[in-house]
Structure 1
Amino acid sequence: MDNLINDINILDGSEAEACETVKVSKKTNTGKDRKLYIESYGCQMNFSDSEIVSSIMSENGFDTTSDYEDADVIFLNTCSIREKAEQTVRMRLSQFNGVKRKKPELMIGVLGCMAERLKTKLLDEEKIVDLVVGPDAYRDLPNLVGEVDEGQKAVNTFLSREETYADITPVRLNSNGVTAFISIMRGCDNMCSFCVVPFTRGRERSRDPYSIVKEAQDLFDKGYREVTLLGQNVDSYKWSPEVNNKARLEKSEVSEIVNFANLIEMVAQIHPDLRVRFSTSHPKDITDEVLHTMKKYENICKCIHLPVQSGNTRVLELMNRTYTRDWYINRVDAIRSILGEDCGITSDMITGFCTETEEEHKDTLTLMDYVKYDFSYMFFYSERPGTLAEKKYEDDIPLEVKKRRLSEVIAKQKETSFERNKRDIGKVHKVLIEGRSKKSAEQLQGRNTANKVVIFDNEGQQKGQYVNVLVEDCSAGTLFGKITERKNDL
């Protein structure tokens, strides 16, 4: 997950979902008969999926609108990772109920993980919902819309072992024209005991690397200067060609099996000015080969999201994370050794998992002291129906204890984030300009290789340009500086 909140990218279990990022479709007007309004909740993968949905609908007679009251069809692309995420969607549906009373022909659909988890039950619980579609069934949307047009309710929550949407060119929603997401794989084979993703997104499958490179090249040609390769676990990306692809592989001198290190190198070689990021890495799978490839290419950003969830080995075993505290530390040491101390490391953490003791909670705090994360996404444990933890373990930690432990983790992360940012003062950073600062039109903002936001005075530069910025000050979540002619130190 990669949501943004406040100045420091910290989420907690109480306020996180209330502040969960909502992405609304941009307005297009190409003369099509009907208008689609789409909102996305949750992770970057959902945002990427909404761009695929918009493309499919555009090819089937729909423009998009940024005003749901103008829409003929409303889609909510949902998250099911926490209970409150689903509550947020239900509240939004209740708001749309008033619109549908005035406009009975309005079609409302629920897409994504919540749709996959609840299936037909959602139609009974939310009477205004006409259409329920899981993450692997978006190609069927035009047919399902047709069924609703004929007066029926429509459902498709089939999970595929092959679907990657590799041939669909996404419609970039709310794009800044500089950065974009590229989905490289779908599903997850990791059965973390607290997680619903394997049940809502299906088994892991990797996308054809040539379609990924083609999409990245097309984005660069259109002026984009940064792509983020997305997957539930990008390190396990692995693609093997079918027989009819073999000649193409031999011609390009690519080995028959393309792993994640091979893929990021292929994308990095498109152009030195195209930055490459990726999310999310799994500690059990990230390899030295990936790290050495990152070191080899300046345009592969030096930032790794490496969710730990807990700093205690027994709790990690209960979570079925398939690594130990020592294994995780080994991977952090490898990152620091190969990529240097300035490489950004970010994390996810859960406090108050089933049977977690005070000493085990302290192990998380001491691991944070060791790693020195640049920022983290932090939650207290919320039991989800159908998960292995819900079936096997008692959710026995009182809510007030979960929240108190979470507050301790948040306090430590704020302190560490500030410490990490202070290390950047006096250094020159290569920054990709993403646009104006949110707080002042007189300033611009962008990100450095470690994915830190950098604010500096607007001297006439344009978004999509690279500039060297001397950092002069910082907060816990932002760097402040001025443009300089010096080369970057990172």
Structure 2
Amino acid sequence: MSSEHIIEEKKQGQALITDQIQGNTKKLFIESYGCQMNLNDSEIVASILSKEGYNTTHMLEDADLVLVNTCSIREKAEQTIRKRLQQYNHVRKINPNLKIGVMGCMAERLKAKFLEEEKMIDLVVGPDAYRDLPNLVQQIDEGREAVNVILSKEETYGDVSPIRLNSNGVSAFISITRGCDNMCTFCVVPFTRGRERSRDPKSIVDEALDLASKGYKEITLLGQNVDSYLWFGGGLKKDFDKASDIAKASAVDFAKLLEIVALAVPEMRIRFATSNPQDMKVEVLHTMAKFDNICKYIHLPVQSGSSRILKRMNRQHTREEYMELIDNVRKIIPNCAISQDMITGFCGETEEDHQDTLSLMEYVKYDFGFMFAYSERPGTLAAKKLEDDVPMETKKRRLSEIIHLQQKHGLYRMEQFVDQTVEVLIEGNSKKSEAHWMGRNTQNAVVVFPKTGQNIGDFVQVKVTGCTSATLIGEAV
């Protein structure tokens, strides 16, 4: 899985650690589950609480406050959170002053269950209420339950400089939008993260410059849907029509933002995630082609290759429109890597729909993919209106066919790099060997090569000599 999209599984739920600030006496234990947006939110929370005297710790027993940043994308996530909360409560026997809180996408939904019924937590804070944390913590100190899950129309945390957690010091994430207006029927994000709003471009550039000054080499612009980024002085995306003529004329869209950032930090690599097919304008592709420091990689979720299923999912594009976008990517950025998100076994999916998905994959031959069998999420439109009628056995079979095809295409794409020399940004040691470096090329392919005196954060030319379906193997030139 690529780090843009889902934090590596091994990092799920690790205690997140920041630099310790002198004079801070309270200890915060914070764990994050789910997507990169969540990890970025944890960094914002660590920043807000550091000003209240909290340093992070990875010793649960020492903590004054435990926060678990939750994700509601998959069912498994919820069971994991429950287990963790039971473990935290066990620690309360040793440390009765421990305060436990749930934050993030599951906060709203689990409030009644964990706070009122099971008394497992003291604090619930939704994705737009992190600034209220100092006040909420005070409420617990006064013996009251503390809850703020109100979604905001303005909050972007644009002025909060995130404290980088568990960072490799090389790559960092900059949040550019919050919320989502898309209302895909399978997705709970619009309900948990609210309406879409964009962050002031100046604050984004300032954060990029700050990271550059601290020696970071790569940034990923992050949003539920980066392509619909639109800054016209603040406010919700959907209110753009009501803006003044001056605000409209000086508005910054995603293509423009990419250019502004690329020019501001020419020495840094720029990535972005996640894109949405219906919002991706051809100008974005031209901007990517124009700047060497914008990585040639697009994560372009499709979810299904069948127009009929796409309609049921309320995706605002058809199979044909998606293919046309792919054609434009190939034409404008011939060396661009493309990855997918795919949901198999969605409500009403037939064998023919499934074949449409496989044939679309053959058409694109994705470099990477994130593939899931559909599981109903409470609160979504699909849960309310559509019957989850594809048997689990069928879902599993279809998923394994999709995964098998993706592995074949992944290998095909990797083989294209063999005998080429690629530029790699070193991120750290290879997982399998201390004697090898691991980094990525502009197409986001993982490259492993023997150490010959380089350092983490160096850009290195690597001659590719071999590959697996997920990794390039080579040597520094």
What TM-score do you get using the length of structure 1 for normalisation? 0.92
Pairwise mapping of residues 36-435 of structure 1 onto structure 2 (< 5 A)?
36-241=28-233, 256-340=250-334, 342-435=335-428
Displacement of 1:21 after TM fit? 2.6
Is the contact made by 2:300 and 2:339 (CA closer than 8 Å) also made in structure 1?
yes
- Quote the residue 2:27 is aligned against: 35
Is the contact made by 1:73 and 1:108 (CA closer than 8 Å) also made in structure 2?
yes
For the residues of structure 2 that align with 1:184 and 1:238, how far apart are their CA atoms? 10
For the residues of structure 2 that align with 1:381 and 1:3, how far apart are their CA atoms? 22
Structure 1 pair 334/169, CA: closer, same or farther in 2 (3 Å)?
Answer: same
Paired residue type of 2:168: N
For the residues of structure 2 that align with 1:451 and 1:17, how far apart are their CA atoms? 15
Say which SS state the counterpart of residue 24 (structure 1) adopts: coil
For the residues of structure 1 that align with 2:275 and 2:51, how far apart are their CA atoms? 34
Say which SS state the counterpart of residue 170 (structure 1) adopts: coil
Is the contact made by 2:23 and 2:53 (CA closer than 8 Å) also made in structure 1?
no
For the residues of structure 2 that align with 1:219 and 1:404, how far apart are their CA atoms? 45
For the residues of structure 2 that align with 1:50 and 1:129, how far apart are their CA atoms? 18
Say which SS state the counterpart of residue 355 (structure 2) adopts: helix
- Quote the residue 1:444 is aligned against: 437
- Deviations 1:402-430 (Å, cap 9, x if unpaired)? 11111111111111111110111011101
Displacement of 1:31 after TM fit? 2.9
For the residues of structure 2 that align with 1:212 and 1:31, how far apart are their CA atoms? 30
Is the contact made by 2:61 and 2:94 (CA closer than 8 Å) also made in structure 1?
no
Is the contact made by 1:17 and 1:85 (CA closer than 8 Å) also made in structure 2?
no
- Quote the residue 2:13 is aligned against: 22
- Deviations 1:435-459 (Å, cap 9, x if unpaired)? 2212211111111001111011111
Say which SS state the counterpart of residue 77 (structure 2) adopts: helix
Displacement of 1:76 after TM fit? 0.3
Say which SS state the counterpart of residue 424 (structure 1) adopts: coil
For the residues of structure 2 that align with 1:304 and 1:116, how far apart are their CA atoms? 32
Is the contact made by 2:61 and 2:95 (CA closer than 8 Å) also made in structure 1?
no
Structure 1 pair 179/17, CA: closer, same or farther in 2 (3 Å)?
Answer: closer
Say which SS state the counterpart of residue 101 (structure 1) adopts: coil
Displacement of 1:301 after TM fit? 0.2
- Quote the residue 2:476 is aligned against: 483
Displacement of 1:321 after TM fit? 0.3
Displacement of 1:2 after TM fit? 5.5
Structure 1 pair 442/20, CA: closer, same or farther in 2 (3 Å)?
Answer: closer
Say which SS state the counterpart of residue 166 (structure 2) adopts: coil
Is the contact made by 1:17 and 1:88 (CA closer than 8 Å) also made in structure 2?
no
Is the contact made by 1:31 and 1:63 (CA closer than 8 Å) also made in structure 2?
no
Paired residue type of 2:100: I
Displacement of 1:102 after TM fit? 1.7
Displacement of 1:271 after TM fit? 3.0
Paired residue type of 1:183: S
For the residues of structure 2 that align with 1:40 and 1:2, how far apart are their CA atoms? 17
Displacement of 1:117 after TM fit? 2.8
Displacement of 1:118 after TM fit? 3.1
What TM-score do you get using the length of structure 2 for normalisation? 0.94
For the residues of structure 2 that align with 1:261 and 1:465, how far apart are their CA atoms? 28
Displacement of 1:27 after TM fit? 5.0
- Quote the residue 2:239 is aligned against: none
Structure 1 pair 446/403, CA: closer, same or farther in 2 (3 Å)?
Answer: same
Is the contact made by 1:119 and 1:157 (CA closer than 8 Å) also made in structure 2?
no
Is the contact made by 2:296 and 2:337 (CA closer than 8 Å) also made in structure 1?
yes
For the residues of structure 2 that align with 1:141 and 1:188, how far apart are their CA atoms? 24
Say which SS state the counterpart of residue 405 (structure 1) adopts: helix
Displacement of 1:17 after TM fit? 11
Displacement of 1:273 after TM fit? 1.7
Is the contact made by 1:226 and 1:276 (CA closer than 8 Å) also made in structure 2?
yes
Paired residue type of 1:227: I
Runs of 5+ in structure 2 lacking a partner?
235-247
Displacement of 1:93 after TM fit? 1.0
For the residues of structure 2 that align with 1:73 and 1:299, how far apart are their CA atoms? 41
For the residues of structure 2 that align with 1:257 and 1:395, how far apart are their CA atoms? 42
Runs of 5+ in structure 1 lacking a partner?
243-253, 485-490
Displacement of 1:148 after TM fit? 0.7
Say which SS state the counterpart of residue 481 (structure 1) adopts: strand
For the residues of structure 1 that align with 2:183 and 2:357, how far apart are their CA atoms? 21
Displacement of 1:345 after TM fit? 0.3
For the residues of structure 2 that align with 1:19 and 1:93, how far apart are their CA atoms? 19
Aligned CA-pair RMSD: 1.9
Displacement of 1:116 after TM fit? 2.5
Say which SS state the counterpart of residue 119 (structure 1) adopts: helix
For the residues of structure 1 that align with 2:9 and 2:163, how far apart are their CA atoms? 27
Displacement of 1:121 after TM fit? 3.8
Is the contact made by 1:3 and 1:42 (CA closer than 8 Å) also made in structure 2?
no
For the residues of structure 2 that align with 1:156 and 1:17, how far apart are their CA atoms? 29
- Quote the residue 2:245 is aligned against: none
Paired residue type of 2:438: Q
Paired residue type of 1:99: V
Displacement of 1:3 after TM fit? 5.5
Is the contact made by 2:208 and 2:265 (CA closer than 8 Å) also made in structure 1?
no
- Quote the residue 1:246 is aligned against: none
- Deviations 1:44-65 (Å, cap 9, x if unpaired)? 0000000000000001110111
Say which SS state the counterpart of residue 22 (structure 1) adopts: coil
For the residues of structure 1 that align with 2:266 and 2:120, how far apart are their CA atoms? 50
Say which SS state the counterpart of residue 382 (structure 2) adopts: helix
Identity percentage of aligned residues: 60
For the residues of structure 1 that align with 2:198 and 2:111, how far apart are their CA atoms? 25
Structure 1 pair 17/192, CA: closer, same or farther in 2 (3 Å)?
Answer: farther
Judge which range, 266-275 or 180-189, deviates more: 266-275
